[in-house]
Structure 1
């Protein structure tokens, strides 16, 4: 059993409106030194596979076909092997 942690964010060339609002709120609350805030989506998917490489290919296919908007978003992911039932 594997656990894939998938992080979806805007591409660097896309303005992140929610990130800008969060940054502005932090500044109003006197949090200093905030350069940039990126807001995104986070997914956890538990899946079986023959190998980490096979799971990685499945995760990439899932992200590219379901989780991201190709025009505005990109993704990264981490995969770890886990024991037990994923409830």
Structure 2
């Protein structure tokens, strides 16, 4: 089973990397771009056939290791 975790800074947390990308895009002529947020994607294979149990397990992984839940939010996909 494939698990994909998308991690982003929570709204209101300053995204310095996102601001740098936004300014670079403006410098390259894409002035209409705004609100850029940079995150990360973590993909891995997970043993098991029960999608609901796998999703719960991946959420536990996120809460304990993969995301800093104080400043980050995450979205889990299990396929």
The TM tier, using the shorter chain, reads over 0.9
Structure 1 unaligned regions, length at least 5: 81-87
What's the counterpart of residue 59 of structure 2?
60
Give the match's secondary structure for 2:18: helix
1:32: Cα distance to partner? Answer: 3.0
Matched, 1:32 2:28: no
1:44: Cα distance to partner? Answer: 0.4
TM-score by length of 1: 0.85
What's the counterpart of residue 21 of structure 2?
22
Residue-pair matches, total: 79
Distance 1:26 1:13 in 2: 22
1:48: Cα distance to partner? Answer: 1.3
RMSD, aligned CA? 1.0
What's the counterpart of residue 10 of structure 2?
11
Structure 2 unaligned regions, length at least 5: none
Distance 1:14 1:22 in 2: 16
